[in-house]
Amino acid sequence: MYSLSVIFWAIYNLDRKNPNSGQDFEHLPPEQLLADILEKDRKIATIMNEINLIINEQ
C-alpha cells in the first residue's frame, strides 16, 4: 500500500517534464538576442511616436 506522501509526490512533483508542452526554447547567441531586442525597441519607439503625434493633434 502506498503512503499518502508518495501519492502526493507523484501528483505535485514539479521536477517532472510536462508531456503536453511544446519544444524547449532555442538558445540564441548573445549577438542575435541583442539584435532582436534592439529591433523590438525600434518598433516600440515608432509606435510611441505615432501615439504621441495622435495625442498632440487633439
User: What pLDDT score does 28 carry?
Assistant: 87
For the chain, which residues make up each domain, given as ranges? 27-58
| Cβ pair 39, 46 in contact under 8 A | no
Q: What cell numbers appear for 21 in the block?
A: 508542452
User: What pLDDT score does 7 carry?
Assistant: 58
Reference 34, options 22, 46, 42, 25; nearest CA is 42
| End-to-end alpha carbon distance in the chain | 74
User: What pLDDT score does 14 carry?
Assistant: 66
pTM for the full predicted model? 0.54
| Cβ pair 50, 43 in contact under 8 A | no
Divide the 58 residues of the chain into consecutive groups of 10 and give the mean pLDDT of each group. Answer: 60 65 75 96 97 92
Element (H, E) at 4: helix 4-12
